[in-house]
Structures are given as structure tokens and as C-alpha cells.
Amino acid sequence: MGIEIFNLGRLGVFPNVSLKLNNSKGRIYFGQAMPQDVFESSSNFDKLCNEKEINNMIAQNPEVLKILSEYKIQPKLNINELRELMNNHCKDTRETALEIADNLLPALKQKVNVKNLKDAAMLHDFGKVLIPSEILNKPSSLTPDELKIMNLHSELSYALLKNCGINDDVLNLIRHHHFNKTDNNYYPDVNLQILNLADKYCALTEKRVYKDKYSPQKALTILYSEVQSGNVHPLIFNALVKAVSEKENIKSIKKC
């Protein structure tokens, strides 16, 4: 028998459905808390969004040009797109990730490394600086080939940042934030699952060139299907639902 975690009816989502612990189908793993690193996010993010700095990153790691060459991508920097991402989506992802972490059960909260989670959230889309702008800003669905190029951003983020004084745990969060399921040797711990879910939720609730923003309720409805399929752990989804519920309640109070 499953354990009831949270009744989604409180947000008007699935009024007769509650999450069950056994929905995870044993596909989620919780690792140990990650150690601290020496990268200070408050002073380095702006420095990293610099054309000269990024060109140095490319020069220090031949793997970057190898990836671009394989997919016939010109090494052109989209600095403005990167800064917009950092100032909007990445900050929103960081905030949402911290809210999820704050609403976890105490036993799971102890496994969260807040410093690493914050840094990874801010840098997870860094590689999009090398994704062609016509793909980044395409106002319609991507073709299969374009989607392959878009999906390179995680590996490009890792390759660009690996020589920037960021610890391996943060780099791995960045590299795997979309869960590379072909890598059977890498299991998503609680930090990575939080980042993954926060990224998805923010992407759904933000306006993009190819879609309008979704309401929190619609975004949760979409993400709930991933809980049912075992791709998102219900305990972490539950923490997101509680965080969204608190925000919506505050908005309602302010309107009164």
C-alpha cells in the first residue's frame, strides 16, 4: 500500500488524486550530500558571461570544438541570449530549486547541498551560448536534428565550465540535469532530481518564443504524468506542489 503524501486537489489539480510513494517504481536513487566547493556564485557569474572568458574556456578544452564540429555548428557566441537566460530562467530555476529543497521531508533535506544546487541552477544552461540563435529562438517546434543540437547544451555547459574552478559535483549536476538515461552508471541523487524538476517547472511556466507561459496548475498537471511514469520521485514532486501552493496562497492574500 502506498503512503499518501499530498492531495493535489488543494491546488485544483487532480481533485480526487493523491500521490503514492510506490509510484516511483524503484527507479530513483538518493545519494549522499555533496561537499562544498570554492566557487563563489555571487562574484563569478557575471565574470563567466564575458566573451573573452568564454573564448578562453573554448581554448582550454578542445572537446568543445570537437562537439561543435561533429554537428557542423559554427563557434559563434550568443552572449546576449546567455545573459538573458542567466538573469531570468536560471535565476527562476535557482529560486524554485531552493523552494523545493525547503519543502522536503527532513530526512531528504539533509541530503541537499544548497551551495552546489544554487551554483548548478545558475549555470545549467551555460552551454546555450554556443547553440545557434536560429534554434534557440525558433518560434515553432524543433526538427529532430535541431533537437539533437539543442540537447548538446548540457554537455557543452560541462565542457566549457570544467576548467573554471567549479567542483566535480556541481559540474555533474550541470552535465546531467536532463538525466541522460543511456548512462546506466549515473544515478540521479536528490540534488539532481531537484534541479531537473525545477528546470522543467520554470520552462513550463515561462513564456517562450514558441509558446505562452502555462499556469502553475497546468505545469503541475504535465509534471505529474512524469511522476506516474517513474521519471520524477513523488516526494520531490510533492515538495514542488507545496512550494507552489504557498506562493499561490500568498498571491491570493495580497489580492484581498
pLDDT tens-digit series, residues 123-132 = 999 999 999 9
Q: In this model, does residue 42 exceed pLDDT 50?
A: no
pLDDT of residue 193: 92
Reference 2, options 20, 26, 24, 29; nearest CA is: 20
pLDDT tens-digit series, residues 197-217 = 999 999 999 998 888 999 999
Domain ranges (residues) in the chain = 1-30+214-256, 38-187
pLDDT tens-digit series, residues 102-130 = 999 999 999 999 999 999 999 999 999 99
Average model confidence (pLDDT) across the chain:
83
Q: Which sign does the torsion angle of CA 213, 215, 217, 218 carry?
A: negative
E strand map for the chain: 4-7, 18-20
Q: In terms of C-beta density within 10 A (0-12 exposed, 13-18 middle, 19 or more buried), how is residue 145 classed?
A: exposed
Which segment of 4-8, 135-139, 162-166 scores lowest on mean pLDDT?
4-8
pLDDT of residue 183: 56
Q: State mean pLDDT over 11-28.
A: 48
pLDDT of residue 9: 58
Reference 134, options 209, 227, 225; nearest CA is: 209
User: Sorting pLDDT into bands at 50, 70 and 90, what band is 188?
Assistant: confident
Helix (H, G, I), strand (E, B), or coil: what is residue 207?
A: coil
